[in-house]
Structure 1
Amino acid sequence: MRMHNADETCGIAQAAMVLGDWWNVLVLREVARGHVRFDALAAEIGLSRKVLTERLGRLVAQGVLHRSLYQRRPVRYEYLLTDSGTALLPLLVAMQDWGDRWVLGDGSLTATAAEDGAEHARVHALAGTRLPDGLELPGTQGADLPLVAPDAAATVLFTYPGTGIEWGEPPIPGTAGCTLENRLFRDAWPDFQRAGVEVRGISTQLAHEQAEFARVEDVPYPLLSDAGHRLAAALRLPMFRGTGRLRHKRLVLVVDAERTVRHTLFPIDDIPHAVTESLRLAADCTRRA
């Protein structure tokens, strides 16, 4: 592709050269979702083997993906994000947020969702799917933690916009109650423990911000930071932009010991009910385990 000389110092133009066309964007979307093998990528995107081979080759050459051998006879590779590729995840999530709001939605800025909308359909389609292998996020203790507790029969993952935030006036619909939500999970923590259920709270706040909130509020379960948008990109979770930051909309996933999503709660309008219902659903998972 011929570029105008002025494009040589333009970061937008250079990024567009790497992304190329919409097939490259969809390949990166699927790799972020955990579909890292050739046949899985072809099935998810619907590309011919020839075109997919070409696109993967370009992305490897650009340093966005790297190939990792997982089978020698015949030779088979997994395609994994490099540091450069991982740095593109916020861009993918921002594209999704823009599409949800301006193409699939009516342009309204909200932290909730309509029950007949695309975001609702995506979240509820997660039931029955497995979380990607090896997905860990920074925790309040400074170390990366797995999304699913290794020794728990079930784990409740709840996402929220953020705590201790000045939203301004008028408030964005659906943003109030993050501190209340954490307090309700905190107060119900003994019940979750008795049921053999772990809890993880997730927002795009930085780990040190979450750690300070956990200290002040005496939060007993881990808070995980998705500031790099790895979870949002992996599950195509609904987001919105508030106070200059992409934030999770409030939802709950109940995940079993095999990292399979068993139940989804979204949208959440009644926070106390969501906490109680997540305990009931997760406890039922442990009884069936």
Structure 2
Amino acid sequence: MKMHNADQNCGIAQAALVLGDWWNVLVLREVARGHTRFDALAAELGLSRKVLTERLGRLVAQGVLRRSLYQRRPVRYEYVLTDAGAATLPLLVAMQDWGDRWVLGDGSLTATADEEGAEHARVHALVGTRLPDDLALPGTHGPELPLVAPGARATVLFTYPGTGIEWDPSLRGAAGCTLENRLFRDARAEFEAADVAVRGVSTQLVHEQEEFARAEEVTHPLLSDAAHQLSAALRLPTFRGAGRLRLKRLVLVVDEARVVRHVRFPVTDVPHAVEESLRLGAATIRQ
């Protein structure tokens, strides 16, 4: 592609060389979702082997993906994000947020969702899907905590916009994060008796989560998705509030094999969602 001289020093123009291609963006979307092997990528994208090979080669050459050998006979590679590739995740999530609001939606800023909308359909389609194996997040219990608690019957993952924030009263669905964490905290004994683990996830920084956990005596792990790894992997709905992209409130019940068994979204009744997540987690059949 011939570029104007001014574009050589323009970060937007240079980024467009990588992200301005439809298939490049969708390949990165699928790799972020955990589809790292050639056949899986071809199946998800519906691409011919020739076109996929070309796009993967470009992304490797541009330093966004790297090939990792997983089989020697015959030789097979998987494609994983480099540091530069991982840095595109916030861009992908921001693109999704813009598309959800301005293309698939009516432009309204909201922390919840309509049951007839694209976000609702996308989140509920997670039932039956498996979380990426190597996805772990930093949080109040250490630098890398697995999303699914080892040995537990089920893990409840609940996402929330953020604690300790004065939300605009007109922003539907944002308030109630502190209440939600308190309710999960207060039900700790019931969840432990049912062998159901609990993890809260927000895009807040770890030190913000730690301050809140100390103040509220929250014992369940709070995980930071500030780098948008989980948001990109599951294509979770977001909204922009108080200066950053934030996760909309939802609940996933995941079994010990990392398969999503139940989804609650949108969450409009927080106490009921906590009670229901305990019931669904306790009813999850061990693998």
TM surpasses 0.5: yes
In 2, the alpha carbon distance for the partners of 1:186 and 1:126 equals: 26
**Rounded Cα–Cα distance in structure 1 between residues aligned with 2:179 and 2:167:** 16
**Equivalent residue, structure 1, for 2:36:** 36
Partner of 2:281: 282
Q: Deviations over 1:88-125 (max 9, x none)?
A: 00000000000000010000000110111110111111
Matches within 5 A, 1:249-268: 249-268=248-267
Partner amino acid, structure 1, of 2:116: D
Counterpart of 1:190 in structure 2 is 189
* Maintained 8 Å contact 2:141/2:222: no
Unaligned runs of 5+ in 2: none
How many Å apart are 1:19 and its aligned residue?
1.8
Q: Does 1:14 align with 2:7?
A: no
Q: Secondary structure at the match of 1:137?
A: strand
- The ranges of structure 1 where at least 4 consecutive aligned residues each deviate by more than 4 angstroms after the TM superposition are none
Q: Does 1:153 align with 2:153?
A: yes
Q: CA RMSD in A?
A: 0.9
What does residue 214 of structure 2 align with? 215
| Residue aligned with 2:254, SS | strand
Identity %: 79
The amino acid of 1:18's aligned partner reads V
Which residues in structure 2 correspond to 1:55-204 (within 5 Å)?
55-168=55-168, 170-204=169-203
Query: Is the Cα–Cα contact under 8 Å of residues 142 and 207 in structure 1 kept in the other structure?
Result: no
SS at 2:232 equivalent: helix
| 1:168-219: CA deviation from partner (whole Å, max 9, x where unpaired) | 4x44111010000000000011100000000000000001100110000000
User: For residue 173 of structure 2, what is the amino acid of its counterpart?
Assistant: G
**Residue number in structure 2 paired with 1:269:** 268
Provide Cα deviations, 1:46-91, integer angstroms capped at 9, x if missing partner.
1110000000000000000000000111111000000000000000
Contact 1:64 1:82 in 2 (8 A): yes
Q: Displacement of 1:27 after TM fit?
A: 0.1
Q: Which amino acid aligns with 1:82?
A: T
C-alpha distance in structure 2 between counterparts of 1:142 and 1:132, whole Å:
19
Q: Which amino acid aligns with 1:216?
A: A
2: distance between equivalents of 1:158 and 1:65?
30
Q: How far does the alpha carbon of each residue in 1:133-191 deviate from its partner, in whole angstroms, 9 at most, with x for none?
A: 110000113421000011211000000000001224x4411101000000000001110
Q: What's the secondary structure of 2:151's corresponding residue?
A: coil
The one-letter code matched in structure 2 to 1:97 is: D
C-alpha distance in structure 2 between counterparts of 1:221 and 1:136, whole Å:
16
Q: TM-score, normalised by structure 2?
A: 0.98
Secondary structure in 2 aligned to 1:143?
strand
Please give the TM-score of this superposition, normalised by the length of structure 1. Answer: 0.98
Letter in 1 for 2:43: A
Q: Which amino acid aligns with 2:17?
A: M
Residue type matched to 2:161 in 1?
Answer: P
Mapped partners of 2:48, 2:141: distance in 1: 45
Amino acid corresponding to residue 259 of structure 2 in structure 1: T
1:96 and 1:110 map into 2 onto residues whose CA distance is 15
Q: Aligned partners of 2:87 and 2:142: how far apart in 1?
A: 21
Residue identity opposite 1:8 in structure 2: Q
Contact 1:149 1:155 (C-alpha < 8 Å) held by counterparts: yes
Matching residue of 2:225: 226
Distance 2:271 2:82 in 1: 41
Distance 2:20 2:60 in 1: 13
Aligned with 1:255: secondary structure? Answer: strand
Ranges in structure 1 where 5+ consecutive residues have no aligned partner: none
1:7-37 CA-to-partner distances (Å, cap 9, x unmatched) read 1111100100122411000000000000000
